[in-house]
Amino acid sequence: MKPIQVEIFYDGGHIPSDRFESIISSLSRKINTWLQAHPDIEIVNILQSESQGAENAWNLTVSLFYRA
């Protein structure tokens, strides 16, 4: 059995909350671009977390656990 690996995608920064949708779109593009570049992997699990710091600073992280 091949070992599980992980790729972590992150997008965040000081962004007004009304632009949170643009963060999601940006992160989706990053993930889809990475997946297209790695077509032979098997996704085992996907985890997501988000947080909002002071003054609407958003952090959104998606972790893909996979076998190559």
DSSP 4-52: EEEEEEEEEEE--GGGHHHHHHHHHHHHHHHHHH-TT-EEEEEEEEEEE
Q: What pLDDT score does 4 carry?
A: 58
Q: What pLDDT score does 22 carry?
A: 77
Q: What is the pTM of this model?
A: 0.72
Question: Going residue by residue through the chain (68 aa), what tens digit of pLDDT does each one get?
Answer: 566 566 777 666 665 555 667 777 788 889 888 998 999 999 999 998 877 776 667 777 889 999 98
Q: What pLDDT score does 25 carry?
A: 78
Tokens of 57: 């600073």
